[in-house]
Structure 1
Amino acid sequence: MTTGEPEGMRMAEQGQVDPARSQVFGEVAELYDAARPGYADALVAEVLAYAALGGRAAVEVGAGTGKATLPFAALGTRLVCIEPDPRMAEVLRRNTEPYPGVRVHAGRFEEWQPDGRSFGLLLAAMSWHWVDQQRRWELAHAALAPGGAVALFWNPQGIRDPELHAALAEVDHRHGITDSPHKDLTSAYGEEAGNWAGLPGWPEDECRRDGRFTDLRSVRYRQQQHYDTDRYLGYLASLSRYRLLAPDRREQVLADTARVLDAHGGGIDMDLLSDLFLARAR
């Protein structure tokens, strides 16, 4: 997605973001691929156990450069990966070359056609909020075989050091940045999946209201993540909030952020929270 992920999710859910924002990542597809964190092995195992594919294929919505695709493909999952940005899709094709069971479709999920195929799993990693809110559950249900699984997940991050958090907050305030990954301390995310400082967007209520899905579950995985200064700046530069800044302003905020990180040991320690939502088509 992303921005400082939950905040960007809220904006997309409330219709405050032009859909074109979801495709600014292609400007820096290689940087996105190198800088973005991956997903917990336990999350991948949980999804596959829940889906019980039995040889059926999966479809991935908004696959990006394959951060979520690769761990599933490595375990033998056959995937159709849908990615709206052709620049991201190009990197995705390269990254998935070792896996003949992966097919890449460049286009929007709303325009993609299953062509009579029924999938055992639909997954979306930090991309579901970009899908048309009025149609997404209908489209998901149409793509799935009876009993097929939906797996939606996000990687919010919380900073662990209050002193560093305060120093970075001063930089963000000075530059008008409101949704960076270091915006919140880890404590703001509570203890349960989807508890994101009161922000809307967690899909459980919407899915329950739709009525075509059952066996709803929410699971959280926690990992410690360290970024040195250069890697963290690359991560920030890959986010839509920073991509949309004028180049000179983006360079200035990144330079000021770098000075703070270097003054605090040359990096940042964060808690990476992989929050997973599961449901099953009736």
Structure 2
Amino acid sequence: MTAEVRVDMARSQVFGEVAELYDAARPGYSNALVAEVLAYAALGGCAAVEVGAGTGKATVPFAELGTPLVCIEPDPRMAEVLRRNTARYPGVRVECDRFEDWQPGGRRFGLLLAASSWHWADPERRWNLAHAALAPGGAVALFWNPHGVRDAELRTALAEVDGRHGMTNTPHSELASSYGEVPGSSLGLDGWPEAECRRDGRFIDLHAVRYRQDQYYDTDRYLGWLASLSTYRVLPADRREQVLAETAQVLDAHGGGIGMDHLSELFLARVR
């Protein structure tokens, strides 16, 4: 295991300490995205498996449409909230395990989905594990939520706070106008995860879709979201509180909140 993977594993395990905040503050996923995934997968009654289900931000909209789901979540504190959020859906099963250690046990699924979690899976194994979990023709759906700040002056002021504290890849790092119009371009020129999937060679019908909507966060709601992110969770508590306090000062000085473009990037593929 590389040092990079070990660091990512450590960061992926910080969410459970704020499971309730994560559930309350994190944005969800649009109904249009869920409908697109289900139309592509054409499950026909087959079950789906979700990697890194968290507290169910993506699980619930799929379950509401009757999708049978096996949810893999490594943190027992997150899994507890997930079970609570999905208790009314008898087709949802929660299995507390790391994706890398989880065993399908002879099961094969019609869809593997990962909502803002695929980057945590071991890059040396994730496509092998996905292929092993899927039935022939089974679909992969990976999606995540980049954000861009609409106000350039506000973005500059927040960048000054981030720079003082060595913060990178925060939700306000980018201007909304920087993303362009090409689905998947929010992750830069390397084309991840499409290029990675294409190199694997066992998947076809690769397809990328983008959804966009306006979002406004008042100061308290935005700070709650930031406090649930691994970028902030890994900081010592006193430093985290200082960064959040300075961020709040900037937001309050700019009207008490932040307007953002909320993108939902979706990548689809299926087993040959």
Q: Which amino acid aligns with 2:84?
A: R
Q: Residues 129-208 of structure 1 correspond to what in structure 2 (within 5 A)?
A: 129-196=119-186, 198=188, 200=190, 202-208=192-198
Instruction: Give 2:266's match in structure 1, choosing from 252, 273, 276.
Output: 276
SS of aligned partner of 1:196: helix
Query: 8 Å contact 2:48–2:68 — kept in the other structure?
Result: yes
Which whole-Å CA distance do the structure 1 matches of 2:10 and 2:55 have between them? Answer: 18
Partner of 1:7: none
Measure, in 2, the Cα distance between the counterparts of 1:164 and 1:225.
15
Which whole-Å CA distance do the structure 2 matches of 1:141 and 1:78 have between them?
Answer: 19
Per the alignment, in what secondary structure is the counterpart of residue 17 of structure 1? helix
1:244 maps to which of 231, 234, 251: 234
Match runs of 1:9-88 below 5 Å: 15=5, 17-88=7-78
The residue identity in structure 2 corresponding to 1:111 is D
Change (3 A) 1:225 1:86: same
Q: Which runs of 5+ in 1 are unaligned?
A: 1-11
Identify if the C-alpha distance between structure 1 residues 25 and 265 changes in structure 2 by more than 3 Å, giving closer, same or farther.
Answer: same
Deviations 1:118-147 (A, max 9, x none): 111000001111111111111111111111
Query: 1:199: Cα distance to partner?
Result: 5.8
Distance 1:13 1:156 in 2: 26
SS in 1 for 2:185: coil
Matched-pair contact (CA < 8 Å) for 1:25–1:240: yes
Quickly say closer, same or farther: Cα 1:13–1:164, change in 2 above 3 A: farther
- Provide the residue aligned with 2:245 in structure 1: 255
In the other structure, the counterpart of 1:221 is: 211
Is residue 5–residue 122 contact of structure 2 (8 Å, CA) maintained in 1?
A: no
| Alignment correspondent of 1:8 | none
- Structure 2 residue identity aligned to 1:173: G
CA distance in 2, matches of 1:263, 1:37: 24
- C-alpha deviation, 1:188, in angstroms: 2.0
Alignment of 1:266 onto 2:231:
no
Q: Tell me, in whole angstroms, the C-alpha distance in 2 between the residues paired with 1:197 and 1:55.
A: 34
Q: Matched residue pairs, number?
A: 271
Q: What fraction of aligned residue pairs are identical, expressed as a percent? A: 77
Partner amino acid for 2:210? R
In structure 2, the residue corresponding to 1:218 is in which secondary structure?
strand
| Matched-pair contact (CA < 8 Å) for 1:62–1:83 | yes
**Larger RCO: 1 or 2 (CA < 8 Å, sep 6+):** 1
CA drift of 1:40 comes to 1.2
1:107 partnered with 2:85: no
Residues 18 and 197 from structure 1, CA distance in 2 versus in 1: closer, same or farther, beyond 3 angstroms? Answer: closer
* 8 Å Cα contact 1:125-1:152 kept in structure 2: yes
CA 1:275–1:26 in 2, change beyond 3 Å: closer, same or farther? Answer: same
Task: Tell me, in whole angstroms, the C-alpha distance in 1 between the residues paired with 2:25 and 2:171.
Answer: 13
Quick one: which amino acid aligns to residue 71 of structure 2? Answer: C
Find the counterpart in structure 2 of residue 124 from structure 1: 114
Which of the numbers 203, 218, 235 marks the counterpart of 2:225? 235
Per-residue CA deviations over 1:172-192 (Å, capped at 9, x if unaligned) read 111211221001101222211
Unaligned residue ranges in structure 2 (runs of 5+): none
Counterpart of 2:80 in structure 1 is: 90
